[in-house]
């Protein structure tokens, strides 16, 4: 299993249109067939010193293996998402894990 987790910080988090546009773009990624499981969300209302809640959106996609992840990275839907939405975020942080 290959788990791909990405955190996004909007350039203008106060802009509702930007928020909605990024959410729609992230949701569009769920159409990629290589994704076995998908979660898209926002920070939870948990506050402890070890929790970073500074981001605006997170996604976690599970793939069967690294090959499926690699196919996702060059998939036309993913590439269209990056082209359409990359101007919205100021920072992206990726964490990949395998089991």
Tell me whether residue 99 is in a domain. no
Tell me whether residue 56 is in a domain. no
Residues 6+ positions from 10 with CB-CB distance below 8 Å: 18, 19, 22, 56, 57, 88, 89, 90
| 3-state DSSP of the chain | CEEEEEEEEECCCCCHHHHHHHHHHHHHHHHCCCCCEEEEECCCCCCCCCCCCCCCEEEEEEECCHHHHHHHHCCHHHHHHHHHHHHHEEEEEEEEEEC
Tell me whether residue 77 is in a domain. yes
Domain count along the chain: 1
Tell me whether residue 2 is in a domain. no
Query: Residue 79 sits in which domain range?
Result: 13-39+67-87
Convert the pLDDT of each residue in 25-58 to its tens digit: 999 999 999 999 999 999 999 999 999 999 999 9
Global pTM reads 0.94
Tell me whether residue 96 is in a domain. no
Tell me whether residue 22 is in a domain. yes
Tell me whether residue 81 is in a domain. yes
Convert the pLDDT of each residue in 3-18 to its tens digit: 999 999 999 999 999 9
């Amino acid at each position: 299993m290959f788990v791909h987790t990405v955190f996004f910080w909007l350039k203008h988090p106060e802009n509702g249109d930007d928020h909605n546009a990024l959410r729609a773009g992230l949701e569009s990624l769920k159409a990629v067939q290589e994704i076995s499981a998908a979660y898209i969300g926002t920070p939870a209302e948990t506050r402890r010193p070890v929790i970073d809640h500074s981001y605006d959106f997170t996604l976690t996609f599970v793939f069967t293996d690294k090959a499926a992840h690699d196919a996702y990275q060059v998939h036309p839907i993913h590439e269209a998402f990056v082209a359409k939405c990359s101007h919205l975020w100021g920072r992206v942080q990726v964490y990949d894990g395998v089991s």
